[in-house]
Chains A and B, each alone.
Chain A
Amino acid sequence: MRWMWIDRFVAFESGRRAVAVKCVSRAEDHLHDNYPAYPLMPATLIIEGMAQTAGVLVGEARQFADRVVLAKVPRATFAGDVLPGDTLQYEARLERIDDAGAMTSGQVQCNGRPLGEIDIVFSHLPRETADQLGIPSHNFVFHDDFRRLLAAFGLDMSRYPTAE
């Protein structure tokens, strides 16, 4: 489980909002190349951090029963650079959720100052669609490893049904 772009949840209100932090380190491989003379966290990975914060919020709202996949990023704005040593805070709010999917709005802060806004549309991937696309029909999003990680974040995973 390396593809995690949040370090810890600092607030979690089921079905409403989640706040996670990410400490940016010069030891991260991607910063060595992006860019050698000016290490800069790519905006795409900031979006990924918000997607993970919001994705867990969406998944938890329905007991981690759905295959929650990122479908669309309708809006992502950034007002500055994120550098090694900076601390990002992602705050995601659940705007809407139903059988088809969910929509979240989000704000990003860098060292306590507003950095950007990221809205995301998630889709709940039906089992039939997964079959048609030839991708795993089990819950590949909230699988056992991911659940263990969420437990490490402090979520009481015993409250939720086990993965299919």
Chain B
Amino acid sequence: MAKSRDEIFAQVQSTLVDALGVDEDEVTEQATLTEDLGAESIDFLDIVFRLEKTFSIKIPRGELFPDDVVNNPDYVENGRFTSSGLAQLKKNMPHADFSLFEKNPTVDTMPTLFTVKTIVNYIERKLGG
């Protein structure tokens, strides 16, 4: 039987508590991984490994947390995403909410895309097929 969104959220929450050593009540859907939960770059690898195990899925590199767009000079100029860069990022991250980010699409504000909700959306899409 398919998991409900609440079930997915609870498992993501538990995964982040284990990976980041945060309290359960800190892991809200709106929380950003880096600013709110204190994740560092290496934690992303840990989180991906744990999500794969928890949900018995395979997460190809860059699918949940894309890193290729930001490193492409055609998509970023002076620390700011070009229109084609933003379009590519949206295409690569259909699971993210861009409403805040697209007002100021810079490399520095990119972590705002990586929220708990982004992960839950991704898992929901992944399990949904």
Contact = CB atoms under 8 A, between A and B. Distances in A.
Nearest to B59: A98
Interface string B86-110: 0000000000000000000000000
B: contact size bracket: 10 to 19
B2 interface: no
Contacts of A75: 18
B46 A121 contact: yes
Contact of B42 (A71, A98, A99): A71
The 9 closest A-B pairs by CB, nearest first: A71-B42, A103-B49, A121-B46, A96-B49, A72-B42, A101-B45, A100-B45, A100-B61, A72-B46
B53 A96 contact: yes
Interface string B37-55: 0000011011011001100
Interface residue SS majority, chain A? strand
B19 interface: yes
A74 interface: yes
A52 interface: no
Interface of chain B, main secondary structure:
helix
Interface residues of A, number: 13
Contacts of B19: 74
B49 A121 contact: yes
A72 B61 contact: no
A73 to B, nearest CB: 10
Contact of A95 (B42, B45, B53, B61): B53
B89 to A, nearest CB: 20
